[in-house]
Structure 1
């Protein structure tokens, strides 16, 4: 009984999402089409190769190099924020969080007196969300909108560029709130399994090629998974399967919502309006996450900039607002010295501050430019 209660306590989002998915299926139906398998398989492959890299000791090695480079904790966090921001341009916000947040948490082992660890983690996740708004291929919601409306590349980044730049300015200002602690330059050594690190690097390269469409993502992730199963199946246990199932449940919920006749009529009538498309996408993202929200509203929106800005800004706010947020929370929760409640409080405070500022500012810009 205690193990069941502990499991429930450890997986609250999956339990809630699972129950809602079951209710939606009972009231509607079940279809595999509702689930974005490409996104889930991509995340599986990335979690697997990053787990291999962590097991190789590569995180320790990278942590020592960062500590040797930085003069103080604030400079270190600012560098990681910028890396997270820039990495999400090309590799998506999810990949940036999966890659850089474990590195940051590993660095904290060697900064026991650093008081800004919670804020640092929050800003790294926030940076991934804000950097990932820029290119059409930077995140799934952008790609869905770009493929549906087919604007020119220049027109697309004309809308996302200002959001990216304003987000970077806000991040820069927020980073000065990070505790400034001198870093000791004591020489550190790390034991690294270079062969395992090489396999992990090769796996990451293959997954990046799959993300860009050079390779088939299903075959790529499947080949990596098969290789790991044959040569080191224990590493398969490092994948967060509950998180993948949580997002599968969200896709099922949204898929059934999109089939409700009165809801479709409501969306068809009102979601084409600029203001409603913008605010509905922003607010629904807080509940269903921005990728499922995009799938729900995409058939009914006519002004793609309103939907585009709404779901990207809507990725800030709650833990459910974007996949990167939940990934970040699950990574932080596994870090024993991090106060999860303190992280959640700081996360919500900072995210909603950014959300309100960006939502109001860009709504004004939308009304001015599209009126």
Structure 2
């Protein structure tokens, strides 16, 4: 019992820390935050995405894809460009939730470095489009930017970081460690086709091409058709809800105006390390008109700590759900080290370019 409790704290420390933050700020304000429909819709979409991805995983599609990738040349470079363009087209969270189970099914040396490469590259691909990340969408909408202006501001960051990550990928040597006699589970083709169709449908709903009211019907169908796919990380979803409440509380507690671009860049990038870049955007937009610095700061600020971006948290949770606790500490240290290296590179780029 004691070991189970310690293991729970070790795995879910971020959930517990966030909950403490929410309770403390709510006590300070003498009120709990109220959640609107707009707050909870993204959580509902993430839940549907988790369920569909779990279904694809259960069909053994990811095992087949990973087995194919293990035999291909230039694997780090392929994953680099796939994650860059996929996150640019379907958003960072969807790209990471889609790609990481495939990467984690690989039986190769330096797999952890590939996980980190995919996660970090997804940041810079998603940064390039207004809908690639939640903070981008909010800045794009709040400041009434046009698409050309938006891309012009952030393109130097995305492409310079892509070139840097490409150079890093050349030093990642992947060798298959799968035993020749090891059998790969046969893919359940009917199940895979059904979940691929459902995955595409959920993505189209996320992109506002299909209506949101289709989502309950999809989940109801999966519930009766394949309830095993509902075995997803519910604590991760609750952590997101807590973050939303914590953001609302912090917004009430702060109040000032900041107009110097460098101050906004530094403040947004560093604040992201502690409360994530989406809450940082929601807080700071009320106090500044410097959208270029805010856009750069929140995207650079997505690198670094586990909680600097929701995508980092998703990466961490997906990784620990596929690995035993022995590897978790090593992965976290590597993820933070590479993340802060990218964070510093982003800082250098900002002061060179902007």
Q: If the TM-score is normalised by the length of the shorter chain, which range does it land in?
A: over 0.9
Residues of 2 paired with 1:296 and 1:240: CA distance?
28
**2:24 counterpart residue number:** 23
**2:190 counterpart residue number:** 195
Alignment of 1:1-371 (within 5 A): 1-2=1-2, 3-28=4-29, 29=31, 30-33=33-36, 36-68=39-71, 70-71=72-73, 75-108=74-107, 111=108, 114=109, 116-181=110-175, 190-217=185-212, 219-237=213-231, 239-260=232-253, 263-264=254-255, 266=256, 268=257, 270=258, 272-336=259-323, 339-366=327-354
Deviations 1:192-245 (A, max 9, x none): 11121122111111111112112233x2332222112222222212x2111111
User: Could you tell me whether the CA contact under 8 Å between 2:92 and 2:311 is conserved in 1?
Assistant: yes
Unaligned runs of 5+ in 2: none
Deviations 1:248-277 (A, max 9, x none): 1111111111112xx21x2x2x2x321221
Q: CA deviation at 1:173?
A: 1.1
TM-score, length-scaled by structure 2: 0.93
Q: CA deviation at 1:122?
A: 1.0
User: Could you tell me whether the CA contact under 8 Å between 1:17 and 1:249 is conserved in 2?
Assistant: yes
RMSD over aligned Cα atoms: 2.1
User: Could you tell me whether the CA contact under 8 Å between 2:84 and 2:126 is conserved in 1?
Assistant: yes
Deviations 1:45-64 (A, max 9, x none): 11111100000010111122
Q: CA deviation at 1:189?
A: 5.2
Q: CA deviation at 1:36?
A: 2.3
Q: CA deviation at 1:34?
A: 9.6
Deviations 1:273-300 (A, max 9, x none): 2122111111111111111111111122
Unaligned runs of 5+ in 1: 367-371
Q: CA deviation at 1:119?
A: 1.4
Residues of 1 paired with 2:306 and 2:184: CA distance?
36
User: Could you tell me whether the CA contact under 8 Å between 1:34 and 1:251 is conserved in 2?
Assistant: no
User: Could you tell me whether the CA contact under 8 Å between 1:209 and 1:215 is conserved in 2?
Assistant: yes
User: Could you tell me whether the CA contact under 8 Å between 2:251 and 2:283 is conserved in 1?
Assistant: yes
Residues of 2 paired with 1:11 and 1:128: CA distance?
24
User: Could you tell me whether the CA contact under 8 Å between 2:76 and 2:170 is conserved in 1?
Assistant: no
Residues matched between the structures, number:
349
Residues of 2 paired with 1:312 and 1:165: CA distance?
13
Q: CA deviation at 1:180?
A: 4.6
**Which stretch shifts more, 226-235 or 290-299?**
226-235
Q: CA deviation at 1:167?
A: 1.2
Residues of 2 paired with 1:203 and 1:189: CA distance?
24
Residues of 1 paired with 2:335 and 2:59: CA distance?
30
Residues of 2 paired with 1:176 and 1:162: CA distance?
22
